[in-house]
Chain A
Amino acid sequence: MRGRLSTSGAVLVYGFGALILLFILAPLLVVISLSVSQAPFATFPPRGFTFDWFGRVIADEEFRHAFMVSVVLAVAATAASFALGLPAAYALNRWKVPGAAAMEAILLSPQIFPILITGLALLQFMASRGLRDAEMNLFIGHVLITLPYLVRTITASLKLVDRTLEEAARTLGAPPWRVFWLVTVPQIIPGIAAGCLFSFMISFDDFPISLWLADAQTVPLPIFLHSSMSRVFDPSIAAMSTLMILTGALAVIGLEKLVGLRRAMGI
């Protein structure tokens, strides 16, 4: 649709759109505004302007450690989910695998079950096996919840691949693996990128899995943030939250630079 709106229609559409945006973004804006407030307590509306809280947060070694734990965890979980999800999605879509539908349902199921319960079940399982390496446990838990996003987005883009391009490549002498890398992958890059972005954000933001699997040495950022809430009352909490929001925004911008967000989202 490329039609032009009448003036009153435009006012209505843009006005309504702005309201919805405000509804979605208002809590984030409150947090961001608090993070630069001079008041020593988190109060709204903010008073004055300062970056002191950011300085204080960044100077905090525990925060830095938690931030690094979360970034490394999100990158590692995303990389592993990609490495597992790409062949899984390809095999389920392209090969006659017996029970493919059931396997796909199982792969996607962590999206349906309550994550909190999944995390609890994981904890009990790992405890019963004597697996006490929190880093490894967190990694496994995060792969479990991020994998469905990659399988889903890659599956969706595989279904849109132009099969005659693959056939053309085969007739031109390309063996199967070169067809895959040279013809199929370039067509599904947007889906892969979108899946990786979702995966990164899901892991970076995860609370209900990490809640169970973290230990005193390995504390991901959301857990650290939550525990700080009960100790700290000044706007440094807001500064930490703002840094989390910024990380997400950076991931989105990075993706935009890499493949173009519109393509990645299939718009």
Chain B
Amino acid sequence: MAKPVDLALSGLSKHYGRNVAVEGVTLRIAAGELVALLGPSGCGKTTTLRMVAGLVEPSAGEILIGGMQVTKVPVHKRNIGMLFQNYALFPHLSIAQNVAFGLQMRGVGKAETAKRVADALALVQLGSFADRLPAALSGGQQQRVALARALVIEPSLLLLDEPLGALDKNLRESMQVELRQIQRRLGITAVLVTHDQEEAMTLADRIVIMRDGKLEQVGTPEEIYSQPATRFVAGFIGAANFLKGTVASRGAEGLAIALPGGGRLLLPTETQEAPLVAVRPEAIAIGPADGPLPGNGTPATVEQVVYRGQMTHLYMRLDDGEPLLAYLANRDGAAPDGAGMRVGERVMAHWPASANKVVRDN
């Protein structure tokens, strides 16, 4: 395999007339890293990936692969492996001929082509399918052929646009593992576009959250989940409760915030105004309503109890009308935390100070 290279995007933009698809994307992807572009539909993920591939011409900005300026280099000279959602296998060519296509374009000799095609098909465990036509393969098998076809040319970059989007859930999960293993083993730099946050979490070294054509946050899956920078990210990755109050007092241990619903928060921050705070539902515990007001907590009324196996989802309402959601773990054998909760019951929801995530409101 060729030496892995890094990818740098700087100020990358794409405008369609007055319509802005991508705006000022600046990003460095290290050699051998797998980065997922994640975001809601229409946020510009595909457009960004296609600019890297050379299939879409940027309106502004630069693309560097392995330090080489490729912004003006045509697709066929970029040495890129790309996977498409619909597999894009050539229907009139056999599996082996499909995989050989890129080698043929590079003028690789017959004997070497045969050997590399066999190796690539073995890598995706489809050695015995070489002589079939694509139509005779299942969706998962077709995408594995497409992966072999993309990898056999030893590309500098592997670009994946929702490669598993057309597969059913079980197959998707096993393909995710396989894709990850192969990418790791070859050490190839990869960019994955997905709108499936679980897929991004499972596969990516780092996740790039996009919104309206711009980067919203870049970080490891753990950083993105545990330190969301904005309200959008906190709500897009997992679930979050958003709380906003007024500054009640400033003390040595930080800022005390009074919530309009009667609760309170303690923040170790130095801000002037009360910031927006996100609290993950699984951080919230439930106590009796007549107990003392905890450092971080609020009284609430139970509105709905949904048993979900390992969790019980508790939907509550604060006294100012805002909703509050808690996930209560159901440990096997132990009395479930959510047991005995009744609709209409008054409770005291509380959480550790570390669960308070200050996020930018946007």
Contact with A along B60-83 (1 / 0, CB 8 A): 000000000000001111111110
B75 and A170 contacting across the interface, CB-CB below 8 Å: yes
Residues of A within 8 A of B153 (CB): 172-173
Q: List residues of B (120-171) whose CB comes within 8 Å of A's CBs.
A: 146, 149-150, 153, 159
CA distance A170 to B86 in the complex (A): 16
Q: How far is the CB of A38 from chain B (nearest CB, A)?
A: 53
Residues of B within 8 A of A176 (CB): 76
Contact of B76 among A165, A170, A182, A186 (CB under 8 A): A170
A-B contact pairs, 26 of them (CB 8 A): A164-B84, A165-B90, A165-B91, A167-B82, A167-B88, A168-B90, A169-B101, A170-B54, A170-B75, A170-B76, A171-B53, A171-B54, A171-B76, A171-B81, A171-B159, A172-B76, A172-B105, A172-B150, A172-B153, A173-B76, A173-B79, A173-B105, A174-B101, A175-B74, A175-B76, A186-B90
Q: List residues of B (89-133) whose CB comes within 8 Å of A's CBs.
A: 89-92, 101-102, 105-106
Indicate whether B248 reaches chain A with its CB closer than 8 angstroms.
no
Indicate whether A183 reaches chain B with its CB closer than 8 angstroms.
yes
Residues of A within 8 A of B150 (CB): 171-172
Indicate whether A226 reaches chain B with its CB closer than 8 angstroms.
no
Contact of B92 among A169, A175, A178, A186 (CB under 8 A): A186
Indicate whether A162 reaches chain B with its CB closer than 8 angstroms.
yes
Which of A164, A171, A175 is the most central at the interface, judged by chain B CB atoms within 10 Å of its CB?
A171
* Given the contacts A170-B55, A171-B53, A171-B80, A164 and B102 also touching, CB distance less than 8 Å: no
- For chain A, the bracket of interface size reads 10 to 19
B105 and A167 contacting across the interface, CB-CB below 8 Å: no
- Residues of A participating in the B interface, judged by any CB pair closer than 8 Å: 162, 164-165, 167-176, 178, 182-183, 186-187
Residues of A within 8 A of B101 (CB): 169, 172, 174, 182
- Residues of B participating in the A interface, judged by any CB pair closer than 8 Å: 53-55, 74-82, 84, 86, 88-92, 101-102, 105-106, 146, 149-150, 153, 159
Which of A167, A186, A187 is the most central at the interface, judged by chain B CB atoms within 10 Å of its CB?
A167
CA distance A180 to B73 in the complex (A): 20
CA distance A170 to B54 in the complex (A): 9
A-B interface pairs (CB < 8 A), number: 61
**Given contacts A168-B146, A169-B101, A172-B105, could you give 15 more A-B pairs where the C-beta distance is less than 8 Å?**
A164-B88, A165-B88, A167-B75, A167-B84, A168-B84, A168-B90, A170-B55, A170-B75, A170-B76, A171-B80, A172-B76, A172-B101, A173-B77, A173-B105, A186-B92
Residues of B within 8 A of A175 (CB): 74, 76
A171 and B90 contacting across the interface, CB-CB below 8 Å: no
Q: How far is the CB of B35 from chain A (nearest CB, A)?
A: 18
A171 and B82 contacting across the interface, CB-CB below 8 Å: yes
Closest residue of chain B to A179 (Cβ to Cβ) is B76
Which of B78, B79, B82, B149 is the most central at the interface, judged by chain A CB atoms within 10 Å of its CB?
B82
Q: How far is the CB of B133 from chain A (nearest CB, A)?
A: 13
B105 and A168 contacting across the interface, CB-CB below 8 Å: no
Q: How far is the CB of A260 from chain B (nearest CB, A)?
A: 13
Contact of A168 among B78, B82, B92 (CB under 8 A): B82
Residues of A within 8 A of B149 (CB): 172
CA distance A162 to B86 in the complex (A): 10
